Structure formats: C-alpha cells, structure tokens
A and B are shown apart, each in its own frame.
Chain A
C-alpha cells in the first residue's frame, strides 16, 4: 500500500506569517491518465474534513487564495501565505491514485 508521510506533525505559526506542510509518498502518484490524485483536506476543531486542494494544485470553490498546493511525483506541499486564526486545525494529504486510498498522519496547525 502507498504510505503518505507528512511533516511537520505540529506547526505553531504566528498570525500573518506563512506556513508550509510537506507530504511525501512512497510511490509516484501519477496515474495512467497523466493526472496526479493528491488532495489536501482541512479539519477545523469539531468539524469534519473539508477539501481545500484537489489534484495537487486546484483550489476548491470558496477556498481562500492564501492556500496553494504544489508538487509532483512523490513530493507535495501545501502552503498558507498568511495564516489567519480560522486556519487552526488539522491538515491531511490524501492520495487516490492507488487502491486503497490513503491519508497522511495529519499536521496540527496552531497559533503561537
């Protein structure tokens, strides 16, 4: 099975400062159709996960443009350009290229 490794697992950030989360896959996530099925989810405290980014770099509707995704092959990154208080929570990467789908361990973003 594909393993996704996120780092860091805990990320204290000052309001207004940038944040970056890494997600590394044990195998290339490029599918036979040429697309890469790596998504990012945000889970605010007490809420269910919400998709932020799909297929590496596409922002979902309603997601602020301070969130961006990048990467290729096995290495991916979620960046928040300027962290706001509402960004506190857990962030997960998820791959859908291979069965079974798999999630990273999660990164906890908190305000310093």
Chain B
C-alpha cells in the first residue's frame, strides 16, 4: 500500500536551514505530483508547495516562496523540502502528500505521510 515517511525535522535556530525528506513506497512515485503541507498552531493546515511528476513545474505558497525549495529524485523515490532563513512561525508538523495526478492543474491529495516536527527556536 501507499507509504510516505517524512524525516529531517528537529530543533533549529531562527535564520538557520533544514532539509526534509519524504520516502515513498507502494506506488509508482514517478507518476504522481507531490505536495508539502504543514500544520501549525497558528494557521492550522497550510499548503506549502507542489512539484509535478517529472519536476518540470513547481509552485509555492506566498509565506514560503523564496525561502523553501521543493525537489524530488525519482530514482530514489524521495521528495525533498529545502528550508532556509527559518522563522519561529515556521514551527509545526510538516507532511508530504501524494496527488492523484502527475501534472497538477487542480490539487487533489489522497495520501499523507505521518509528518515530521520542525521547531524553530533559539
């Protein structure tokens, strides 16, 4: 069955960087677009970024544009989120989620990972 496992979270100081990973299994990773979504106490669930099946298109939410970069390695069946200039308000649980489509014109997540906690604090 579909399995998504996030890793890379932890405690980081404001202004520092972190890279999250999402290992996929149980489906053809290269045939699906993928998203990152976070859950914070302040904003609830917030969509962050999407990448198409082949990496040819990426989009970001306004709050993370220019600071976060989504990428993928289809040979490793892994999705990434590179985060720089982290702020206390970035604290939350970060989820990867699979989209039903490879090239995403409308967002339609079906499966989510279990999440990884990021805490930005001095």
Which A residues lie within 8 Å of B107 (CB)? Answer: 37, 96, 99, 101
Q: Which residues of A contact B111 (CB under 8 A)?
A: 51
Q: Per-residue CB proximity of A7-41 to B under 8 Å, as 1/0?
A: 00000000000000000000000010001010100
Determine the chain B residues whose CB is within 8 A of the CB of A50 once the complex forms. Answer: 112
Are B44's CB and A105's CB within 8 A?
Answer: yes
Q: Say yes or no: A102 contacts B108, CB within 8 Å.
A: no
Partner of B45, one of A35, A49, A97: A49
B46 in contact with A103 (CB, 8 Å): yes
Which chain B residues (63-109) contact chain A, with CB distance < 8 Å? 95, 106-109
For chain A, what secondary structure do more than half of its interface residues adopt (helix, strand, loop), or is it mixed? loop
The list of the 6 closest CB pairs from A to B, nearest first, reads A96-B107, A101-B107, A103-B45, A101-B47, A48-B112, A96-B106
Please list the residues of chain A having a beta carbon within 8 angstroms of any beta carbon in chain B.
Answer: 31, 35, 37, 39, 47-51, 54-55, 60, 92, 94, 96-97, 99-103, 105-106
Bound CA–CA A103/B115 (angstroms):
17
Min CB–CB distance A102 → chain B (angstroms)? 7
Q: Which residue of A lies closest to B111 (CB)?
A: A51
- Closest chain B residue to A35 by CB distance? B106
**Chain B residue nearest to A51 in the complex (CB):** B110
B35 → A minimal CB distance (Å): 8
| Cα distance, A65 to B15, chains bound together (Å) | 48
